[in-house]
Amino acid sequence: MPEPPASPILRPRADASAVCRPAGCRSASAMAARPRLHYPNGRGRMESVRWVLAAAGVEFDEEFLETKEQLQKLQDGEHLLFQQVPMVEIDGMKLVQTRSILHYIAEKHQLFGKDLKERTLIDMYVEGTLDLLEMLIMHPFLKPEDQPKEVVHMAQKAIIRYFPVFEKVLRGHGQNFLVGNQLSLADVILLQTILALEEKIPNILSTFPFLQVPVFALSQQR
């Protein structure tokens, strides 16, 4: 049986927003304008965008939407294609839809594989992980009496359906990363999800030694 790899997978700490506030990260291109993120002041669906920007070493600014009027101003100005956030201003575009934003940033910063096969694998892994992450995103909006039951449900989903897939991949190829032996969007989103789950269920990785490696590496960077 192969041993889990020992080298770290990702350098940013657990909360990418803490790592990469406006003056936090080194820009990948000093001459380029920094992306501007439009979203309420919370994690939500924008947190994955913060994570991938942090993984790419890209500085960004945030425009927190704290009132209905701020959101309405964006909608009235036709800045939101489908009248909703998250929205990211980047490279002269106003991008919406979380997956589209993630794909653009990942492709731009070489986090989306080297060929069609790798991109397809990354896409599959990301889509699966986002299904689990969506449960975490919606958890705070449940009725308080329903939240403990949903934590149990999330744990069951993670342990039975999702984590075994990634444990098998890492165990099978013996590399440090899910695809192509280099950091990709799939690793970033998986680590974000694992750390968010560990906030609610600290021992959730106890039976997944190959998934414990990146989490330990991240903890050493805090």
Mean pLDDT calculated for residue range 126-150:
93
The pLDDT mean for the chain works out to 83
Mean pLDDT calculated for residue range 68-90:
84
Q: Give a yes or no: residue 151 inside a domain.
A: yes
State residue 188's pLDDT score: 94
Mean pLDDT calculated for residue range 91-102:
93
State residue 105's pLDDT score: 98
Q: Give a yes or no: residue 169 inside a domain.
A: yes
- Whole-model pTM: value is 0.81
In a 10 Å sphere around its CB, with 0-12 CB exposed, 13-18 middle and 19+ buried, how is residue 192 labelled?
buried
State residue 155's pLDDT score: 93
Q: Which domain holds residue 163?
A: 116-219
Is the pLDDT reported for residue 78 higher than 60?
yes
Q: What is the SS3 string spanning the chain?
A: CCCCCCCCCCCCCCCHHHHCCCCCCCCCCCCCCCCEEEECCCCCCHHHHHHHHHHHCCCCEEEECCCHHHHHHHHHCCCCCCCCCCEEEECCEEEECHHHHHHHHHHHCCCCCCCHHHHHHHHHHHHHHHHHHHHHHHHHHCCHHHHHHHHHHHHHHHHHHHHHHHHHHHHHHCCCCCCCCCCCHHHHHHHHHHHHHHHHCCCCCCCCHHHHHHHHHHHCCC
5 vs 9, more confident: 5
Per-residue pLDDT tens over the stretch 210-219: 998 766 654 4
Is the pLDDT reported for residue 4 higher than 50?
no
Cα end-to-end span (Å), the chain? 31
Per-residue pLDDT tens over the stretch 24-68: 344 444 446 899 999 999 899 999 999 999 999 999 999 999 888
State residue 158's pLDDT score: 95
The closest alpha carbon to 63, from 106, 33, 21, belongs to 21
Residues 42 and 129 in one domain: no
Residues 40 and 103 in one domain: yes
Mean pLDDT calculated for residue range 9-28:
38
Q: Give a yes or no: residue 135 inside a domain.
A: yes
Residues 142 and 99 in one domain: no
Domain boundary, last residue among 87, 108, 129: 108
Mean pLDDT calculated for residue range 100-120:
96
Q: Give a yes or no: residue 3 inside a domain.
A: no
In a 10 Å sphere around its CB, with 0-12 CB exposed, 13-18 middle and 19+ buried, how is residue 49 labelled?
buried
Whether the CB-CB separation of 166 and 188 falls below 8 Å is answered with no
State residue 82's pLDDT score: 78
- CA geometry: angle 222, 15, 62, nearest 5 deg: 130
Q: What CATH number is attached to the domain comprising 165?
A: 1.20.1050.10
